A = this chain, B = another copy of it.
Amino acid sequence: MSFSPLIRHLIDALRGLPGVGPKTAQRMALHLLERDRDVARHLAGALATAMDGVGYCSRCRTLSENDICAICADPRRDATLLCVLQSPADVWAVEQAGGFTGRYFVLKGQLSPIDGMGPEEIGIPALLEAVERSDVAEVILATNPTVEGEATAHYIASMLKPRGIKVSRIAHGVPLGGELEYIDGGTLAHALAGRTPIL
């Protein structure tokens, strides 16, 4: 084929984006080169800056460019209410749904022994420590409504119950088998409001 090396390189690099196949990558490369070079330069800068500047909040473990994220740093957020999630995308989804005023703790995924993901790997000891050093009165388990997400919620509940912490699970208004980050805001807000005690 007749792509020059720099264009070939750009198309290959665009294919690194999730959901972008060879045809889409070609179309993106052409669009940027022919119509939007400033957009492409802007994107290059944003990528480099974000990859170097964004780390994880040392308190809740969501993606953050500061040691303590904006939510953890906000004194208006209810420190007695902690919502446990599987991914920073889930924090974004709950925040976009609105209505939740507590704080978060983000696990590294869910328990999945077959993939070598045990309690240590997904950060459950750190969650227990965080709960112990805090004023948390209630932990809301908002892991995915999947088999692994349920198992993760039950495991965490079994660790927190003996410590006298109230533990709840988001209501099963969320469709079973779905992934939290793709659920519409209304359903999510409803599921959080309708949470039920667990164990």
Contacts and interface: CB of A to CB of B under 8 A. Distances in A.
Interface of A: 1-7, 9-10, 12-14, 16-19, 24, 26-34, 36-37, 39-51, 53-54, 63-66, 69-71, 87-89, 91-92, 95-96
B33 A54 contact: yes
Contacts of A18: 27-28, 31
A3 B70 CA distance: 9
A91 B2 contact: yes
Given A1-B95, A33-B63, A9 B49 contact: yes
Copies of this chain, complex-wide, total: 2
A115 to B, nearest CB: 14
Contacts of A46: 6, 9-10, 12-14
Nearest 10 interchain pairs by C-beta: A13-B46, A16-B39, A44-B47, A10-B50, A44-B48, A13-B43, A2-B95, A44-B44, A18-B31, A4-B65
Contacts of A63: 4, 7, 30, 33-34
Contacts of A96: 1
Given A7-B65, A36-B16, A39-B16, A89 B27 contact: yes
